[in-house]
Amino acid sequence: MSLLFEVGAACAEGGRRGELTLPHGAVQTPVFMPVGTAATVKAVPQDVVESLGNRGAEIILANTYHLYLRPGHELIRSLGGVHRFMSWRRPMLTDSGGFQVFSLAKLRKITTDGVEFRSHLDGSKHFFSPEHSMEVQIALGADVMMAFDECVETPATWQRTKDSMALTHAWAARSKQYWEDHRHEVPWARERSETRDQRSEPTQFEREYDATRFSDKHQALFGIVQGGMYPDLRRESAQRLVEMDFPGYAIGGLAVGEPREVTREMIALCLEMLPKDKPRYVMGVGYPDEIEEYARMGVDMMDCVLPTRAGRHGLLFLRENPADRRSAVVRLNIKRKDLADDQGPIDAGCACSVCTRYSRAYLRHLFSSGEPLGATLNSIHNLAFYLETMERVRSDIAGTPG
């Protein structure tokens, strides 16, 4: 078993309430997934990520490109996978590395076989093919892996986008073949004695790790719909991937600078084409009002670095009217001078551990003094705000008659 997806109530706009069961646990959908780039949700410890909002984050994302370069997937494989490496019990998803190769790495050379690139860290030369991306993602051992895709630059012509999409489809088929042949190699079921040296006593987390529960489980693989901003290509891409029959589907190549109505249009037409009984994931979006809108349209999964990145830069999300959790989302810059003696919380209607304890005055002081706790507390509030938003969307959909 790799994945079970049960769809419950749906709303008129197409949004649906569901439960996604993965090897490391169940996830209530629609879900927002905090991004743990280098096996850490930046500045926020795992126990806090688990306790955000009512349920905590039920699934997080890690980046294949970053973990491949540092500390290296072979090291993580030898330690039993990224769950055990970072002490995270719950589900996890890895991207294919494609997006970072195309956006961060230097001197790329693309052939039908794969992409040669230089590390943004030290300039060293590397090669990613669909097979190698799968091999790395199996070593990392997230519950959900992504097929390797080419991310086309924006804007791109129709012909350039079509050619890139054809490459993505060929790579999706190769990713799937490798996954089918090698998915039993996931390191979850490795016994502790195989994964650690004998220098020290294992941590309590490692002692409690039960390898036997994974004996009949493996990772799921999602295909990624591309096609840029061209409706005909988006439809063709969705159709081609559905024919390949993946356990779930992602809509990629969006939120790359296009107007929001175009993003919405592309999502809507992809959702029409994708099977209703499988999870549908829009990658890399967005602002709190966007994730709410897309969830109501029928997107089941989303991820974005925004809540933590904005938090580290002193930008906080809150409701215009704290007492009305449906009021507009507004942004507060914690650097603002007038907050120096503000004794109120970031958001008086937010129940997070930061808003119930700390004042704006204190958070402003932490930020302007460069204290690391400032980044941590701001990130915790923003993540809690995102999870609260999704919780409300889920209960709205569940409460919809029919």
Would you tell me which residues interact with Zn ion (CB under 5 A)? 350, 352, 354-355, 381
Computed from CA positions of residues 330, 333, 338, 339, in that sequence, does the dihedral angle turn out positive or negative? positive
Query: How near is the Cβ of 354 to Zn ion at its closest, in Å?
Result: 5
Residues 251 and 217: their CA atoms lie apart, in Å, by 26
Joined tokens for residue 153? 């630059």
Query: How near is the Cβ of 335 to Zn ion at its closest, in Å?
Result: 18
Which CB atom, from 225 or from 291, has the smaller least distance to Zn ion?
Answer: 291
Which CB atom, from 246 or from 358, has the smaller least distance to Zn ion?
Answer: 358
102 neighbors 36 (Cβ within 8 angstroms): no
End-to-end CA separation in angstroms for the chain: 31
Query: How near is the Cβ of 30 to Zn ion at its closest, in Å?
Result: 21
What amino acid positions are annotated as catalytic residues? 95, 303
**Residue 58's Cα: distance from chain center in Å?**
11
Residues 307 and 378: their CA atoms lie apart, in Å, by 9
Query: How near is the Cβ of 307 to Zn ion at its closest, in Å?
Result: 11
**For residue 253, which of 99, 74, 132 has the smallest C-alpha distance?**
99
Which CB atom, from 170 or from 348, has the smaller least distance to Zn ion?
Answer: 348
Query: How near is the Cβ of 283 to Zn ion at its closest, in Å?
Result: 26
Which residue type occupies 130? P
33 neighbors 303 (Cβ within 8 angstroms): yes
Which CB atom, from 238 or from 318, has the smaller least distance to Zn ion?
Answer: 318
Which CB atom, from 239 or from 333, has the smaller least distance to Zn ion?
Answer: 333
Classify residue 116 as exposed, middle or buried by CB count within 10 Å of its CB (0-12, 13-18, 19+). middle
